[in-house]
């Protein structure tokens, strides 16, 4: 029979295990789904367009699951890379790794496990898509280290967050048509815009610790350049609709996206940190509006 000491030990260990699992979830940003949605919406744009509005269920599952896994893995390796910087930044000092609740070795093991599961998913697709998956994994792994050397890491993140677009076409058409690359460019511009807004939140801290960002590089022109990036993204999406002969539903999605972009610019007008963070968090509605336009266009056309 189990002794009272055994039950007492279990009662002490269980909360510690649960606390560790919760910190793993936080390191994967499962408690903050905005980043996952920002990656998911453009991937769904491409999945739907590449399939002519009728994606195969298993393809859809692989891409949705892949988005969640790769975003989580990217967050873990980002925290590992920034473990010496995060304690000095107000927004990140309480992250599990920065606060010392998770060790660097545990972070690497978690990253490895997530990457292996993502690889197993990618193996369900054709060889052409697998090549793109390997390149996408390279972008995700190297991004956290780029901001030490590159003044425009937001552009590099845009490459990483747009990589699911050519992958979706490769998986369903085994080719990358021109419209796929135009969609890629549209998303690249959008990501650079909203991640610059995100970088505006940390600009003062980044200057102190020597990290680089487009928010720092753009300086006083930051809001104007963000506006230009948003306009260029919308124009690119408009050209996508024209190439595919999309109708009024898609145009309505673009109009909604335009309205949201104006709202984000209004929020960051004073460069207030909380307002900039709010604008970043709300940006996923832009992606949702475009996807709604694509979905409704195929459904009602």
For the CA atoms of 159, 162, 165, 170, the dihedral, rounded to the nearest 10 degrees, stands at 30
What CATH number should be reported for the domain holding residue 267? Answer: 1.10.357.140
Q: What's residue 251's pLDDT?
A: 97
Q: How far apart are the first and last CA of the chain?
A: 69
Q: Does a structural domain hold residue 31?
A: no
pLDDT in tens, the chain (301 residues): 455 555 555 566 667 778 888 988 998 998 889 999 999 999 999 999 999 999 999 999 999 999 999 999 999 998 898 888 888 777 788 888 888 888 999 999 999 999 999 989 999 999 999 999 999 989 988 888 887 788 899 999 999 999 999 999 999 999 999 999 999 999 999 999 999 999 999 898 888 888 889 999 999 999 999 999 999 999 999 999 999 999 999 999 999 999 999 999 999 999 999 999 999 999 999 999 999 999 999 998 7
Give the global pTM.
Answer: 0.90
Q: Does a structural domain hold residue 32?
A: no
Q: What's residue 78's pLDDT?
A: 87
Q: Does a structural domain hold residue 157?
A: yes
Q: What's the rounded Cα separation, in Å, for the pair 15 and 74?
A: 27
CA angle 87, 92, 93 (to 5 degrees): 35
Q: Does a structural domain hold residue 10?
A: yes
Q: What's residue 13's pLDDT?
A: 64
Q: Does a structural domain hold residue 165?
A: yes
Six token digits for residue 281:
């968090």
* CB 200 within 8 Å of CB 222: yes
* Closest CA relative to residue 250, chosen from 259, 239, 260, 241: 241
Strands of 153-210 (E only): list them. Answer: none
For the CA atoms of 151, 155, 160, 165, the dihedral, rounded to the nearest 10 degrees, stands at -170
Residue range(s) defining the domain that contains residue 118: 4-25+37-300
Q: How does DSSP classify residue 207?
A: H
Q: What's residue 93's pLDDT?
A: 82
Q: What's residue 51's pLDDT?
A: 96
Q: Does a structural domain hold residue 245?
A: yes
Q: What's the rounded Cα separation, in Å, for the pair 212 and 210?
A: 7
How many structural domains are present in the chain? 1
Q: Does a structural domain hold residue 137?
A: yes
């Amino acid at each position: 029979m189990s002794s009272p000491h055994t039950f007492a030990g279990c009662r002490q260990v269980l909360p510690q295990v649960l606390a560790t699992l919760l910190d793993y979830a936080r390191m994967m940003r499962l408690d903050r789904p905005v980043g996952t949605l920002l990656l998911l919406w453009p991937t769904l744009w491409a999945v739907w367009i590449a399939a002519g509005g009728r994606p195969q269920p298993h393809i859809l599952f692989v891409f949705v699951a892949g988005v969640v896994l790769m975003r989580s893995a990217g967050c873990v390796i980002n925290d590992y890379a920034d473990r010496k910087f995060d304690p000095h930044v107000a927004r990140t000092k309480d992250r599990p790794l920065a606060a010392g609740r998770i060790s660097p070795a545990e972070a690497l093991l978690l990253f490895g496990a997530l990457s292996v599961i993502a690889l197993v998913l990618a193996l369900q697709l054709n060889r052409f898509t697998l090549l793109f998956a390997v390149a996408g994994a390279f972008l995700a792994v190297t991004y956290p280290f780029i901001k030490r050397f590159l003044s425009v890491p937001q552009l590099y993140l845009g490459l990483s967050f747009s990589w699911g677009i050519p992958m979706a076409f490769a998986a369903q058409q085994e080719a990358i048509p021109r419209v796929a690359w135009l969609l890629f460019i549209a998303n690249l511009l959008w990501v650079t815009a909203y991640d610059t807004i995100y970088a505006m939140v940390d600009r003062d801290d980044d200057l102190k610790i020597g990290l680089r960002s487009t928010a720092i590089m753009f300086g006083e022109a930051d809001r104007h350049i963000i506006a230009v990036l948003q306009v260029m993204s919308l124009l690119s999406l408009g050209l996508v609709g024209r190439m595919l002969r999309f109708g009024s539903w898609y145009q309505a999605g673009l109009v909604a996206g335009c309205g949201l972009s104006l709202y984000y610019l209004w929020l960051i007008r004073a460069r207030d940190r909380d307002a900039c963070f709010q604008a970043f968090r709300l940006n996923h509605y832009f992606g949702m509006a475009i996807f709604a336009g694509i979905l409704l266009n195929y459904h009602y056309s």
